[in-house]
Amino acid sequence: MKTTISKVSQYVDQEVTIGVWLTNKRSSGKIQFLQLRDGTGFIQGVLVKKEVSEEAWEAAKHLTQESSFYVKGLVRKDDRAPSGFELTVTDLNIIQYATDYPITPKEHGTEFLMDHRHLWLRSSRQHAILRIRNEIIRATYEFFNNHDFIKIDPPILTGSSAEGSTDLFHTEYFDRDAYLSQSGQLYMEAAAMAFGKVFSFGPTFRAEKSKTRRHLIEFWMIEPEMAFTDHEESLVIQENYVSFLVQSVLKNCPSDLKTLGRDLSKLENIKAPFPRITYDDAIKLLKDKGFNDIEWGEDFGAPHETAIAESFDLPVFVTNYPTTIKAFYMKPQPGREEVVLCADLLAPEGYGEIIGGSQRIDDLELLKKRYEEHNLTDPAYKWYLELRQFGSVPHSGFGLGLERTVAWVCGIEHIRETSPFPRLLNRIYP
């Protein structure tokens, strides 16, 4: 029976054939222990000299790291094995002996590993991170489909920038200029007026010359947008969504979390509702903690976000930021125009902002005023104003950064490992 390592539990004491690569091996003279992987999992194959053909024994002896072959064997239940199973090898059929595989079990520098990202993906740690990324993607679709959101794909190529930003990649679009999208939000607002509740999930781009452990040049974002929904209702969706992601990973990726050595107690705790703190109180909290480098009206830096997050076990919503430091489309708090109906969700353990969200301005005159204040004279924005002219309704939305969320759930240092082929300031290869 041709199968995969992930399915051996269905074939206990039966003979199976699996296409595999060798990750490591050791030998005791009469027994060879082969560490095998097939992409779906890892298993040990045991070859006993007197029980296999001489050809099979010799073939196994010459196996090198990352050699590819079909292995035939009997599936044995083995409680000592990490996977719970072992393979008693009966035969093997070599596809290719690999020579000089560059990534050996010894330590390698990060740049070396990044240069070999196409191979580094095969390592157990990278494999675990990207399987958790896959689960977060899968759970995102499950969550938004179950909540009756329609997936809408906003364009990547646009004639203007979403927030008047300058960190844009430019390209020539036939006879005119185009830019790579930094956010699909404005388009999602149009879509929400047509479909009620919508979400996007696609790549976004920031040509930012920053080199931190939290930034990628190309990253994926989920951007839900909801008509007839105020900011409070949006916060409830956000905390339920993030809880669902974390609980889904706990449920469906236990062995990947184990591979990463993740402290599960930090994740098991992550259940809605999440605590909230206003920007005002966050400033006070920072002052109490001895920060003298921030005043009301200024945006937080990474150390501030970390200090705020440290005061809570759960992700925390920081709400009602000053109007002047937030995007032009955010709705002012009624009766207190100097702050907006918004929140950033800060992940625990110093992972920083994973969600930014707000209620949007629905009043045409106020939006026009903001256009003027922000010099948004580009006619490419005309259509966005029209959303407030033809049946404007209260609406809210948010954006979650996939890679930052993966980094937090995995508990890893640097965001570059959360992307299969990360794009960084100095890296566009492989």
Question: If binding means CB under 5 A, how many residues of this protein chain bind Mg ion?
Answer: 2
Q: Is the peptide bond before 430 cis (omega within 30 degrees of 0)?
A: yes
Q: Which stretch binds a copy of itself (CB under 8 A): 75-83, 105-113, 317-325, 387-395?
A: 387-395
Helices 302-310, 279-288: axis angle to 10 degrees equals 90
* Best CA proximity match to 252, nearest among 238, 267, 240: 267
Q: How far is the CB of 163 from a copy of itself (least distance, A)?
A: 17
> CB-wise, 394 or 411, nearer to a copy of itself?
394
How far, in Å, CA of 94 to CA of 96, rounded? 6
> CB-wise, 50 or 176, nearer to a copy of itself?
176
> CB-wise, 39 or 350, nearer to a copy of itself?
39
- Rounded to the nearest angstrom, the gap between the alpha carbon of residue 201 and the centroid of all alpha carbons in its chain is 11
Q: What are the residues facing 340 on neighbouring strands?
A: 332
Instruction: Kindly state the tokens that stand for 253.
Output: 């990726």
Pick one of 126, 243, 248, 323: the residue that binds a copy of itself (CB under 8 A).
Answer: 126
**Interface with a copy of itself, residue 264, by CB under 8 A:** no
> CB-wise, 7 or 266, nearer to a copy of itself?
7
> CB-wise, 86 or 344, nearer to Mg ion?
344
How far, in Å, CA of 335 to CA of 333, rounded? 6
Q: Which stretch binds a copy of itself (CB under 8 A): 26-34, 44-52, 123-131, 341-349?
A: 123-131
Which one-letter amino acid corresponds to residue 59?
A: A
**Interface with a copy of itself, residue 114, by CB under 8 A:** no
Q: Is the dihedral of CA 193, 195, 196, 199 positive or negative?
A: negative
Which one-letter amino acid corresponds to residue 256?
A: D
**Interface with a copy of itself, residue 272, by CB under 8 A:** no
> CB-wise, 6 or 324, nearer to a copy of itself?
6
Choosing among Mg ion, a copy of itself, none, which partner's interface includes residue 215 (Cβ < 5 to 8 Å by kind)?
Answer: none
User: Which residues from 287-306 bind a copy of itself, rule CB under 8 A?
Assistant: none
Question: How many angstroms separate the Cα of 267 from the Cα of each of 227, 244, 389?
Answer: 32, 11, 45
Instruction: Kindly state the tokens that stand for 114.
Output: 């990044």
Pick one of 154, 332, 348, 401: the residue that binds a copy of itself (CB under 8 A).
Answer: 154
Q: Are 9 and 52 in contact (CB under 8 A)?
A: no
Phi/psi for 34 (5° steps) reads -105, 125
Instruction: Kindly state the tokens that stand for 145.
Output: 């489909």
* Best CA proximity match to 87, nearest among 152, 123, 128, 34: 34
Choosing among Mg ion, a copy of itself, none, which partner's interface includes residue 391 (Cβ < 5 to 8 Å by kind)?
Answer: a copy of itself
**Interface with a copy of itself, residue 392, by CB under 8 A:** yes
**Interface with a copy of itself, residue 377, by CB under 8 A:** no
How far, in Å, CA of 381 to CA of 221, rounded? 22
Pick one of 148, 288, 365, 372: the residue that binds a copy of itself (CB under 8 A).
Answer: 148
**Interface with a copy of itself, residue 38, by CB under 8 A:** yes
User: Which residues from 208-247 bind a copy of itself, rule CB under 8 A?
Assistant: 209, 217-218, 220, 227-228
How far, in Å, CA of 189 to CA of 194, rounded? 9
User: Which residues from 327-356 bind Mg ion, rule CB under 5 A?
Assistant: 344, 353
- Could you give the string, one character per residue 63-82, with x where binding to a copy of itself holds by CB under 8 A and - elsewhere? ---xxx-x------------
Pick one of 9, 27, 145, 269: the residue that binds a copy of itself (CB under 8 A).
Answer: 145
Q: Are 258 and 223 in contact (CB under 8 A)?
A: no
Report angle CA 195, 200, 203 to the nearest 5 degrees.
Answer: 155
> CB-wise, 52 or 277, nearer to Mg ion?
277
**Interface with a copy of itself, residue 118, by CB under 8 A:** yes
> CB-wise, 1 or 31, nearer to a copy of itself?
1
> CB-wise, 225 or 344, nearer to Mg ion?
344
Cβ atoms within 10 Å of 378's Cβ, excluding its own = 12
Q: Which residues bind Mg ion (CB under 5 A)?
A: 344, 353
